[in-house]
């Protein structure tokens, strides 16, 4: 007997006999772990020649101990009974005889094969889906991210631990779901079958008939393809009947627990909507490893799982390095986003919806026109590609929405001929041999068409680079591209140098710097910025100029021996770009304010004007107007009409509107309308082309039901809602809603009172 401090210990020899051992199947490395009956760790020792020696407290004599046999762990002194059970450890409970010095244990083949571990390759990618102005959605990788891979306790193990009252709740809700199938939501985007982005409902399919089982009846179900396949895993009616019956007729808690475990695959589809079960999953997650993604947002690693058990149930979360710290960008519900029975080697797609995520944007592959070598390509305003002025009469239209058209307008979504406004970012691409001594700097300028002054964009443009010192987290300092003054030329911007700035003199030895593989910071893709609220506040069509300069600040003339301007002509589904050579209408030479300018020029229509929404007081043919209390009184004996009018205004007509009328809670489509503010008509309303709309309504149109004209009110209350929406965009496929306006008016239509 040994003694440590005041605690006395005794040695217990554990001898293990593995049954089922063959030359082809040998037991794995094994350790024995001892816990008291409350689950408190006591001791551990590895098996050597099928024997182990445990040092157990003398105070445990005569009491129950739990002996677990399983795989060795890295820190045995931190052994956790739940973790060992998850890894398939075999458990024996026995009362420790005070005189016992040896314990013999036989492990049957199914007991010890459970912790034989097999490798499982886990592959995946982290993406964000970005809506583009042309209405399509682009999948962009998320780099500078680490993914943590966790294993979730299997549903059977969670069922085994459920309190009795929740066990019966689970039974009741499962039987109700089978009897009257729930309209399950579509699975999260990262759990959808490969190639299926938006699952569509299939025609309703009935469940296999289940004759009355403990009062249960069947009902038809209408689920998505994925939901049906998950719910009816076995389509044979006899099998389904037998499995449901086993749950419905269980006669004891123990039997019910076992039967629910047997139908765990039927429970899985409902885990996401049975939120009362979620805490059991959130707290039973064992994180296996953390892996970094590459510049394409992809990751790959190997985890291990029991060879003779089910495939692992994996859950993923992700964090992104954003300047100075790791920020969580993907940590969805465990119950809704676990990949049950993950197929080793298959690709998992983690779709990030966090608006703070910073996607990577690798430069697109560019298909060049013939005989073009060194090139610069004005590419986008925001995410809207620049169409320019290609040759042809009339000028060809761009292939789809989401382009800056030749007139400087753009189409996006259902909006046509929209101007630009707000804070506008510009992007451009260039060949690998830029920068060089011959092409080192660029400058963006603008002027309103019809004016003579060319203004230069002078907002600061930077690029972040990575600085890594030994033992420290990386930092992301900035390198300023401009504005700079070179050779007397102001507001020049440097093309990003091929190599990042060298470490500072005070940096620790071994510090390295480099450019990120892709544009990590969202602003790093932009070459220039224009605050059009200030610099281009006068609405109208503008010329945007792009000029290039050599290392000494001399203007470079595009052409043979220097460089060529190219223009995007088509963006393919894989985001590669087909380009054309700039036309003579685009590559211009002009003397402005006594200075010669040579560069690429395209039009951009800018309009930052506010909309105005005004609803006029309703009246009866201009004679009776709604009073201060909102009552518009009519004479039941005459047939005078009710006039509704409103103004949906934009100074230049660059807006749309919707005007809706409700009687009580009933929407009146016959009294509502919408469209362009410049339209001559909108539903029942006549417009003057400048945003003024009016119509005279017969009283029954307002007082009678739109579905049943025979149901009429003698008096009724109405609500008028007018929304005027500016078309202006920053180039990202959505409106600048700050320019919108809204008005609302309520009135009541009622008969004249006797005293009036």
Query: Using one digit for the tens of pLDDT, what is the confidence trace for 350-382?
Result: 999 888 888 877 777 889 998 899 999 999 999
Low-confidence ranges of the chain (pLDDT < 70): 1-6, 134, 153-161, 176-251, 255, 259, 261-273, 275, 278, 280-285, 308-310, 323-324, 393, 517-523, 706-710, 754-756
Phi, psi of 158 (to 5 degrees): -70, -40
**Shortest CA distance to 600 belongs to which of 378, 434, 397, 449?**
378
Look at strands 314-321 and 145-152 and give their pairing. antiparallel
Q: Which two tokens stand for residue 747?
A: 């009135």
Give the integer Cα–Cα distance in Å for 542 and 544.
6
Strands, E assignment, 420-460: 423-430, 441-448, 455-456
Contact partners, residue 329, CB within 8 Å, separation at least 6: 142, 145, 318, 319, 320, 352, 354, 356, 357
Give the integer Cα–Cα distance in Å for 683 and 662.
15
Give the integer Cα–Cα distance in Å for 292 and 321.
11
Cis previous bond, 176, omega within 30:
no
Give the integer Cα–Cα distance in Å for 648 and 668.
19
Contact partners, residue 699, CB within 8 Å, separation at least 6: 634, 639, 641, 642, 749
Give the three-class secondary structure for 324. coil
pLDDT at residue 200, rounded to an integer: 30
* Inter-residue contact 526 to 460 (CB < 8 Å): no
Q: For the chain, what is the mean pLDDT?
A: 82
* Inter-residue contact 174 to 260 (CB < 8 Å): yes
Q: What share of the chain is helix, strand, coil (3-state, %, to 5)?
A: 15, 40, 45
What b/e readout covers 615-631, taking b as 16+ CB neighbours within 10 angstroms? bbebbbeeebebeeeee
Prediction pTM value: 0.66
Dihedral over alpha carbons 726, 729, 734, 737 (to 10 degrees): -40
Burial of 582 (0-12, 13-18, 19+ CB in 10 A): buried
Which letter does DSSP use for residue 256 in this model?
A: H
* Inter-residue contact 752 to 632 (CB < 8 Å): no
Give the integer Cα–Cα distance in Å for 49 and 45.
12
**Shortest CA distance to 531 belongs to which of 429, 656, 444, 411?**
444
What are 689-692's contacts with CB under 8 Å, separation 24+?
Answer: 690/649, 690/653, 691/647, 691/648, 691/649, 691/650, 691/653, 691/657, 692/645, 692/647
pLDDT tens-digit series, residues 150-194: 887 666 666 666 777 777 777 777 776 666 555 555 555 555 443
Q: Which two tokens stand for residue 244?
A: 């449901």
Q: What angle is formed at CA 102 by the lines to CA 98 and CA 105, rounded to 5 degrees?
A: 115
């Amino acid at each position: 007997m040994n003694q440590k401090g005041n605690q006395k210990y005794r040695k217990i020899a554990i001898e293990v006999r593995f049954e089922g051992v063959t030359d082809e199947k040998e037991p794995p490395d094994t350790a024995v772990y001892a816990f008291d009956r409350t689950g408190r760790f006591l001791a551990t020792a590895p098996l050597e020649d099928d024997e182990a020696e445990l040092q157990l407290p003398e105070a445990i004599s005569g009491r129950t101990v739990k002996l677990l046999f399983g795989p060795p762990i890295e820190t045995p002194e931190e052994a956790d009974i739940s973790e060992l059970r998850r890894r398939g450890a075999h458990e024996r409970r026995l009362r420790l005889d005070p005189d016992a010095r040896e314990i013999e244990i036989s492990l049957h083949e199914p007991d010890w094969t459970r912790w034989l571990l097999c490798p499982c390759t886990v592959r995946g990618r982290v993406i964000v889906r970005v809506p583009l102005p042309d209405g399509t959605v682009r999948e962009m990788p998320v780099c500078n991210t680490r993914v943590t891979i966790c294993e979730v306790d299997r549903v059977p193990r969670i069922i085994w631990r459920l309190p009795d009252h929740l066990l019966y709740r689970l039974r009741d809700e499962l039987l109700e779901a089978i009897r009257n199938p729930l309209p399950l939501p579509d699975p999260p985007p990262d759990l959808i079958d490969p190639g299926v982005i938006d699952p569509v409902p299939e025609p309703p399919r009935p469940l296999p008939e289940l004759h009355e089982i403990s009062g249960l009846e069947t009902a038809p179900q209408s689920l998505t393809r994925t939901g049906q396949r998950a719910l009816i895993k076995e389509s044979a009616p006899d099998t389904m009947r037998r499995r449901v019956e086993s749950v419905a007729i269980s006669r004891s808690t123990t039997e019910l627990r076992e039967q629910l475990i047997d139908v765990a695959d039927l429970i899985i589809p409902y885990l996401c909507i049975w939120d009362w079960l979620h805490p059991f999953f959130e707290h039973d997650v064992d994180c296996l490893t953390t892996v970094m993604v590459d510049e394409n947002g992809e990751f790959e690693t190997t985890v291990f799982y029991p060879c003779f058990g089910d495939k692992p149930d994996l859950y993923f979360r992700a964090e992104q390095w954003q300047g100075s710290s790791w920020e969580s960008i993907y940590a969805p519900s465990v119950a809704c986003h676990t990949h049950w029975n993950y197929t080793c080697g298959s690709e998992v797609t983690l779709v990030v919806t966090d608006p703070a995520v910073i996607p990577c944007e690798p430069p697109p592959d560019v298909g060049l026109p013939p005989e073009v070598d060194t090139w610069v390509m004005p590419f986008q305003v925001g995410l809207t590609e620049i169409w320019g002025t290609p040759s042809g009469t009339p000028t060809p239209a761009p292939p789809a929405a989401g382009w800056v058209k030749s007139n400087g307008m753009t189409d996006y979504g259902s909006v046509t001929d929209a101007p630009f406004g707000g804070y506008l970012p510009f992007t451009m691409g260039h060949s690998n041999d830029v920068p060089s001594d011959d092409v080192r700097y660029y400058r963006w300028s603008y002027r309103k068409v019809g004016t003579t002054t060319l203004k230069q964009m002078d907002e600061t443009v930077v690029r972040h680079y990575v600085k890594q010192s030994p033992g420290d987290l990386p930092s992301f300092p900035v390198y300023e591209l401009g504005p700079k003054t070179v050779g007397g030329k102001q507001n020049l911007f440097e093309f990003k140098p091929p190599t990042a700035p060298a470490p500072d003199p005070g940096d620790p030895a071994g510090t390295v710097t480099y450019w990120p593989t892709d544009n990590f910071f969202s602003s790093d893709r932009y070459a220039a910025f224009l605050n059009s609220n200030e610099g281009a506040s006068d609405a109208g069509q503008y010329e945007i100029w792009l000029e290039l300069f050599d290392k000494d600040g001399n203007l470079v003339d595009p052409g043979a021996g220097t460089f060529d301007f190219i223009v995007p002509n088509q963006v393919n589904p894989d985001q590669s770009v087909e380009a054309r050579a700039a036309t003579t209408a685009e590559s211009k030479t002009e003397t402005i304010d006594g200075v010669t300018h040579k560069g690429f020029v395209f039009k951009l229509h800018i309009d930052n004007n506010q909309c105005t929404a005004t609803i006029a007081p309703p009246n009866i043919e201009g004679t009776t107007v709604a009073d201060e209390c909102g009552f518009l009184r009519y004479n039941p004996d005459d047939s005078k009409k009710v006039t509704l009018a409103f103004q949906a205004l934009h100074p230049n007509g660059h807006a749309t509107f919707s005007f809706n009328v409700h009687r009580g809670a009933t929407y009146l489509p016959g009294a509502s309308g919408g469209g362009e503010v410049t339209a001559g008509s909108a539903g029942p309303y006549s417009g003057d082309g400048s945003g003024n709309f009016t119509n005279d309504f017969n009283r029954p149109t307002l007082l009678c039901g739109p579905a049943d004209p025979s149901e009429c009110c003698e008096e009724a209350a109405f609500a008028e809602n007018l929304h005027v929406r500016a078309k202006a965009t920053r180039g990202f496929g959505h409106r600048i809603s700050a320019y919108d306006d809204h008005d609302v008016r309520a009135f009541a239509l009622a008969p004249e009172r006797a005293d009036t």
